Structure 1
Amino acid sequence: MQYFPVFLDAKDLHCLIVGAGEVGARKLELILKTPATITVVAPWMCDTVKSYASHPQVTLIEREFEQDDLNAKDMVFVATSDETTNADIHDLARARKVLVNVVDNTPLCQFITPSIIDRSPITIAMSSGGVAPVLLRYLRQKLESVIPANISRLGAFSEKFRNKVKQTLDGVTARRYFWEDVLDGDIAELVEKGQNDKAEAQFDIALEAARQNQKPQGQVYLVGAGPGDPDLLTFRALRLMQKADVVVYDRLVSPQILELVRRDAEKIYVGKTKSNHTLPQQDINTLIAEQAKQGNRVVRLKGGDPFIFGRGGEEIQTLIEQGIDFQVVPGITAASGAASYAGIPLTHRDHAQSVTFATGHLKDGTIDLNWNALAHASQTLVFYMGLTGLPIICKKLTEHGLSAETPIALVQQATLPEQRVVTGTLATIMDNPETPTMKPPTLVIVGSVVSLHRKLDWFTRTVE
């Protein structure tokens, strides 16, 4: 981040605006949303600025800027049409340690004005660092459409009862759980509808109940993180990641997705590679359970889907045995993500009427599969963790009747910008010079549908 986001207390803020055209008027109207004291200096003022002459926060001075105008000022917006004057005022402000913004001249901005969504006391500010204002406007429009207009009522309600909750409940975790329950439940709905009397009555009942059982019960959420692209996360997955006290994640969770976890959550890495386990699976199961017993809200973040070669079933068996509540949040499995982003439909009327997911690495390290059932031309096969055993997969499928000319694709780091696709046939894939360069995580897709890749590819180029 070149610009550090921060919210200034404007109660005793003294702001100077140099220039009183329409640009200066926009800055004036923006700052007037705060309690700041504002001085505007310019030899000429537009009608919009003049209309604020009697405003108690505003002082208008019709003359050229003078150095002493910077005295006792905390920040200054420079909005004249003279570039030399703008640069001179910038230098003077920096020398006096006054925060300075030269409008529409990012290199001369010590701070920049963000795009603001105002639902006071809830305020959302966004910035592109001055490089993508149109994109920023687009994002603001999106947020405006999903944030309830009455969210300000909920902000005011939270402010009103904040101290009462703090005095009633001990511990940050207990208070956070309580507020999350309030904000997710019927009380918030009543507040947004303006039914504050009912909301306050229910709030008091809920707070007393929380007081009698101050330590909240820990819970585990097995969350599918999808194949890698953070845009493929479900809304529920993202919401829980933002609520988690502890996040236990594996190697297949992309850095882009991990970045979306709540900043102050404890993050515990338990990634596994072939013959190199940070923690054995049983230890992971125990770790998750112990964290929940300590009263934490635990998100077990797993690449793809927890119940498709994600060992989610093994983990919740431990939770059931120890009496710990849990929920499972499905994710887009790697097979679906890889196939879609590689332009390979898993089923197609002319190519495959079924699809089978198989693991290329069993619990005991072997690839002992039902090859007779797998070796059928009218289905698509997807092998998870199949890169190491690729020679065996090709050999076994041809030995059990699948044509050596059957197309095969290797998809590495599916859905991410680094995605690579290598194609061939069961007979030729091992001779492709690109095959030895492929690294996990790589999915293996076998079947006639792979022949559609070249035509349907929309995301990446084929390496052949």
Structure 2
Amino acid sequence: MEFLPIFYSIKNKPCLVVGGGEVAARKVALLLEAGARVSVVAPQINSTLAELAAQGVIAHWAEPFQSRHLHGQVLVIAATDDQSVNRKVSEDSQQLRIPVNVVDNPDLCTFIMPSIVDRSPLLIAISSGGQSPVLARLLRAQLESIIPVAYGRLAAMAGRFRAYVRQQIAHPDKRRQFWENTLQGRLTELVLAGKDKMAEEYLLQSLKQEKDHFPQGEVYLVGAGPGNPDLLTFRAMRLMQQADVVIYDRLVSPEILNMVRRDAARIYAGKERNRHTLQQESINQLLVRLAQEGKRVLRLKGGDPFIFGRGGEEIETLASHHIPFQVVPGITAASGVAAYAGIPLTHRDYAQSCIFVTGHLKDGTIDLDWPQLARLNQTVVIYMGLLGLSVLCKQLIMHGLPDSTPAAIIQQGTTQKQKIVIGTLRTLPVQTEIEHLTPPTLIIVGEVVKLHQNLAWFEPAQQVPAARIIATNPGPDT
């Protein structure tokens, strides 16, 4: 995040615009709408600004910019077509620690002007950090079309009742839940229908029913998918915005964690080999305790909570304590990572079945049903198998798979840091060591790995395409 998004009050405060053309006029109009006292510095100004000056709405200094014009200003915008003037405005303003914006030159700005969706008092600001103003405007146009104008009246109504609701519901979590439930229900529909009086009566009625009830806690067991935020479900996103506290695993990417409601408490419960921040039993009891306190608890797990995610153990504990819970499936790593690697898990010419296994068991050993795994015409997907990769490959070969069987290991699949190593059961362990791969990884064994060469489609932005694959030819058909 290059810029801190803030809303800055300039009502009745002096602001300066340097420039007299159409762009300057647009900036002046925006400042006036926010209640600022605007001055314009420019030897000449267009008819729009001239009319505002004649009416006394703005002050106009008909002269070139000088440092003295900055005296007493709280915000400055440079909107001239002379880059040397714009640079001087920026440098002089920054020296005086006055926020300054130079139109179409983010390098000279200490703040930038976003595209705005105005549903006053509700405002939505959209910015690309100065990289693509056109894209920001396109997004604004989309939001303008889907956010009703009545949301402004809804926000104003909530503002009028805010202090009264605070008096009636002292508990912060309970008060937040009241507003969330109310604003997502009939109140909003009444306002959208133009029935503001009925909406106010409904709000008061809801408040009377709510204030004497302590909020009931609930647990949301949500699969965060393999790492790419675009792969979250709509339901997961909705619950992530409702939670009071989130307990998350190591495999939950920072990009996904940033999509959780920002004021939710965060508790890290990640597990690494021989290093568990919280034991599983402690996590189970923590979920119970927080829910019993009336909190909405988001248990956010990488992949799918019911595929090597120990979600079953957690909801068993919740059920035994009569804690309400919801389960939201996520895209498991096997399907998500394989798809982004261009490796179909089944294919009528190569594999008619697929098996998911974990690379380590509860006691840390690898003791799998090797004869079942070492069958032809099937795909084996191995979770958490990086550290035991050499043992896995050796055992599969010992139990009947040719050492030339294609195999792949994918690091941080579906994300911009995705890295793929293609080899065989014989070569993959050595290749993985050379490439210094680190968790999270997924291993895929089977003839379907051959299809990667023709079906790979995802190009991580941070990698040069030629460096995307580190491959040793696993056979003549590859």
TM-score, scaled relative to structure 2: 0.88
| Deviation digits for residues 284-309 of structure 1 (CA, Å, limit 9, x no counterpart) | 10111111112221111100011111
Partner Cα distance (1:426, 1:273) in 2: 26
Residue type of the alignment partner of 2:424: T
Shift of 1:442: 1.4
| Deviation digits for residues 96-119 of structure 1 (CA, Å, limit 9, x no counterpart) | 554333333434333322222222
Counterpart of 1:369 in structure 2 is 368
Shift of 1:92: 4.9
Shift of 1:122: 1.1
Q: Does 1:177 align with 2:177?
A: yes
Mapped contact 1:226–1:233 kept (Cα < 8 A): yes
Distance 1:355 1:6, change over 3 A: same
Mapped contact 1:454–1:462 kept (Cα < 8 A): no
Distance 1:150 1:347, change over 3 A: farther
* Residue correspondence of structure 1 range 101-120 to structure 2 within 5 A: 101-120=101-120
Counterpart of 1:234 in structure 2 is 233
Structure 2 SS opposite 1:284: helix
Distance 1:166 1:376, change over 3 A: same
Shift of 1:431: 4.4
Counterpart of 2:257 in structure 1 is 258
Partner Cα distance (2:199, 2:90) in 1: 51
Residue type of the alignment partner of 1:324: I
Distance 1:95 1:406, change over 3 A: closer
Moved more, 435-444 or 274-283: 435-444
* Residue correspondence of structure 1 range 202-221 to structure 2 within 5 A: 202-213=202-213, 215-221=214-220
Q: Does 1:452 align with 2:462?
A: no
Partner Cα distance (2:105, 2:396) in 1: 64
Shift of 1:396: 3.9
Shift of 1:351: 1.8
Shift of 1:51: 4.3
Partner Cα distance (2:220, 2:445) in 1: 33
Counterpart of 2:39 in structure 1 is 39
Q: Does 1:463 align with 2:474?
A: no
Mapped contact 1:434–1:463 kept (Cα < 8 A): no
Structure 1 SS opposite 2:81: coil
- Structure 1 spans left out of the alignment, 5+ residues: none
* Residue correspondence of structure 1 range 239-250 to structure 2 within 5 A: 239-250=238-249
- Structure 2 spans left out of the alignment, 5+ residues: 460-467, 472-478
Moved more, 263-272 or 166-175: 263-272
| Deviation digits for residues 233-267 of structure 1 (CA, Å, limit 9, x no counterpart) | 22322332233221111111112222223333221
Distance 1:286 1:97, change over 3 A: closer
Residue type of the alignment partner of 2:182: V
Counterpart of 1:192 in structure 2 is 192
Counterpart of 2:201 in structure 1 is 201
Distance 1:198 1:402, change over 3 A: farther
Partner Cα distance (1:181, 1:457) in 2: 45
Structure 2 SS opposite 1:320: helix
Q: Does 1:303 align with 2:302?
A: yes
Residue type of the alignment partner of 2:43: P
Counterpart of 1:332 in structure 2 is 331
Counterpart of 1:281 in structure 2 is 280
Mapped contact 1:165–1:175 kept (Cα < 8 A): yes
Mapped contact 2:421–2:432 kept (Cα < 8 A): no
Moved more, 326-335 or 65-74: 65-74
Partner Cα distance (1:297, 1:56) in 2: 54
Mapped contact 1:36–1:57 kept (Cα < 8 A): no
Mapped contact 2:245–2:265 kept (Cα < 8 A): yes
Moved more, 67-76 or 33-42: 67-76
Distance 1:372 1:146, change over 3 A: farther
Counterpart of 2:314 in structure 1 is 315
Counterpart of 2:345 in structure 1 is 346
* Residue correspondence of structure 1 range 429-440 to structure 2 within 5 A: 429-432=428-431, 434=433, 437-440=436-439
| Deviation digits for residues 380-408 of structure 1 (CA, Å, limit 9, x no counterpart) | 22111222333443344344444443211
Mapped contact 1:35–1:57 kept (Cα < 8 A): no
Mapped contact 2:65–2:85 kept (Cα < 8 A): no
Partner Cα distance (1:424, 1:2) in 2: 40
Structure 2 SS opposite 1:52: helix
Structure 1 SS opposite 2:124: strand
Partner Cα distance (1:126, 1:157) in 2: 25
* RMSD of aligned alpha carbons: 2.6
Partner Cα distance (2:423, 2:90) in 1: 62
Moved more, 218-227 or 153-162: 153-162
Moved more, 365-374 or 197-206: 365-374
| Deviation digits for residues 9-49 of structure 1 (CA, Å, limit 9, x no counterpart) | 23222222232211111112222322222233433222332
Q: Does 1:405 align with 2:412?
A: no
Partner Cα distance (1:259, 1:218) in 2: 23
Mapped contact 2:20–2:46 kept (Cα < 8 A): yes
Partner Cα distance (2:66, 2:438) in 1: 65
Residue type of the alignment partner of 1:196: D
TM-score, scaled relative to structure 1: 0.91
Distance 1:187 1:433, change over 3 A: closer
Partner Cα distance (2:415, 2:70) in 1: 50
Distance 1:67 1:439, change over 3 A: closer
Residue identity over aligned pairs, in percent, reads 53
Distance 1:297 1:55, change over 3 A: farther
Structure 1 SS opposite 2:443: strand
Partner Cα distance (1:137, 1:453) in 2: 39
Partner Cα distance (1:409, 1:449) in 2: 10
Counterpart of 2:158 in structure 1 is 158
Mapped contact 2:222–2:329 kept (Cα < 8 A): yes
Distance 1:288 1:150, change over 3 A: same
